[in-house]
Amino acid sequence: MKFGGSSVADAERLKRAARRIVAAREDGNRVVAVLSARGKTTDELVGLAAEMSDAPDPREMDMLLSTGERISCALCAMAINDLGHRAISLTGSQAGIVTDTSHTKARILDVRADRIKTALDEGQIVLVAGFQGVSTSHDVTTLGRGGSDTTAVALAAAVDADVCEIYTDVSGVFSADPRIVPDARKLDVVSFEEMLEMASSGAKVLQLRSVEYARNHDVRIHCRSSFEDVTGTFVVGEQETMEHPLITAVTHSTDEARLSLVGVPDEIGAAAKIFTALADANCNVDMIIQNEPLEEGRKAEVSFTVPRGDLRVARETLEPIAAELGVDSIDAVPEMGKVSIVGAGMKSHPGVAAKVFQVLAEERINIEMISTSPIKISCVIAADKVPDAVRALHGAFELGAGGIQAEAPIGEQAR
Ligand code: ASP
Ligand code: MG
């Protein structure tokens, strides 16, 4: 069971999480719970660091950020003990989560869950601080923002859990962000592949890496509300998803930035140089477009998107490379957004892309870049056009609660 920041934001909510954990235990389950930092704690810790330094040392950043989830776990253990059960809180390191050494973005290498298993065998409820581990060189590391999801999935895999329940402030995964599309529909089942595409194109419910981990280790995820006791969304292997709707969801992001290198000499190895440098700087490059010059000796243009937060680093990284290659200029557009449609069914249906472009054209929205995968079509557009684009696509593909793909409400189905 993993509880997100908003589910443990204050004493009342933490106690509610504690009761939920205890209820699962009393149902006869052995329970490992992963907790996030309370509310905006992690943001506040980032703010504290910013007060001290413009470029805080990553190792010290991890020492700082890892404290938020420890607070949640210790407090929750106290509440559980008061409810008459035995709970033990563990840091990521104590829980045996071993990572690589890349501070603030560490990857889990191994989970040595012996201590957890022993505690479970002794009848204890185990609480693990999310989003952190210990590196191969014995330093505290964190797994990147939203990383508690990955902690939960990794532990579920390590203890061979029946299910990894992700408790959050929404009741599941939706066909679009309900704040933008009021009739967005809660999805009952989503495949790992679809969820990966959704998480990578802006759906915030689950951290991308946690979905990758779940797919690789075949961990069933149940994403559900911590405030009401109803079934949420199951994220499972494709063989378990019974139907394949053409389109499952519309996702979006409003924090993209575009960088264009204008006048890149058309020579072998130029792209390799550019993107190797960005990879070494840990910049997450998303869409890439290069136009090939028509005549010999002419120059190419290379454009790509990065999360807006990576823009400064990307630019600084590229400046020396651009000078070395003889690039004419680097242009940056910081206010870009992206809208995507995801659906396993589009694999076997032609015409989906055409319809997407048609819908956006009718909305008078200019598409700046396009990328596709077998089950996703993404368009980069101006950030302020994103809500309109999401609503239009959601409506055009009839994904809403009133649309043709709607299913019976949960209560009906149970009967
Ligand atoms: N507390 C961390 C964050 O805010 C990790 C998490 O909640 O998953 O990103
Ligand atoms: Mg989260």
Give ∠ CA 152-209-49 in degrees, rounded to 5: 85
Domains and CATH numbers, the chain: 2-242 (3.40.1160.10), 243-415 (3.30.2130.10)
Summarised one tens digit per residue, pLDDT across range 179-208 is: 999 999 999 999 999 999 999 999 989 999
Distance CA 278, CA 267 (A): 19
Which ligand 1 atom sits nearest the alpha carbon of residue 146? 8
- From 148, 164, 207, 226, give the residue whose CB has the most ligand 1 atoms within 8 Å, as the site to mutate: 148
Q: Kindly report the pTM of this predicted structure.
A: 0.89
* pLDDT for position 403: 59
Average pLDDT of the residues in 287-305? 86
Listed in sequence order, the residues at least 6 apart from 201 whose beta carbon sits closer than 8 Å to its beta carbon are 251, 252, 253, 338, 340, 342, 376, 378
Strand duo 140-142 + 189-191: pairing? unpaired
Q: Which numbered ligand comes closest to the C-alpha of 170?
A: 2
Distance CA 387, CA 370 (A): 18
* pLDDT for position 349: 86
Listed in sequence order, the residues at least 6 apart from 227 whose beta carbon sits closer than 8 Å to its beta carbon are 7, 16, 169
Protein residues with CB under 6 Å of any ligand 1 atom = 5, 36-37, 42, 68, 130-131, 145-149
* pLDDT for position 415: 28
Distance CA 41, CA 59 (A): 19
Structural contact between residues 38 and 2, judged by C-beta atoms closer than 8 angstroms: no
Summarised one tens digit per residue, pLDDT across range 97-125 is: 999 999 999 999 999 999 999 999 999 99
The residue with greater pLDDT, 411 or 239, is: 239
Structural contact between residues 336 and 383, judged by C-beta atoms closer than 8 angstroms: yes
Which positions make up the binding site for ATP?
2-5, 168-169, 179, 204-205
Which positions make up the binding site for substrate?
42, 69
Q: Which numbered ligand comes closest to the C-alpha of 204?
A: 2
For residue 161, pLDDT over 60 is answered with yes
* pLDDT for position 413: 34
Average pLDDT of the residues in 337-354? 92
For residue 302, pLDDT over 50 is answered with yes
Instruction: Please count the residues of the chain.
Output: 415
* pLDDT for position 409: 39
Q: Give distance in angstroms: CA of 236 to centre of ligand 2.
A: 19
Summarised one tens digit per residue, pLDDT across range 243-256 is: 668 899 999 999 99
Give the chain's mean pLDDT.
93
Q: Which numbered ligand comes closest to the C-alpha of 205?
A: 2
The residue with greater pLDDT, 297 or 91, is: 91
| Residue nearest to ligand 1 atom 1, measured at CA | 37
| Residue nearest to ligand 1 atom 9, measured at CA | 145
| Residue nearest to ligand 1 atom 8, measured at CA | 146
For residue 131, pLDDT over 90 is answered with yes
Q: Whose CA is closest to 29, among 166, 162, 222?
A: 162
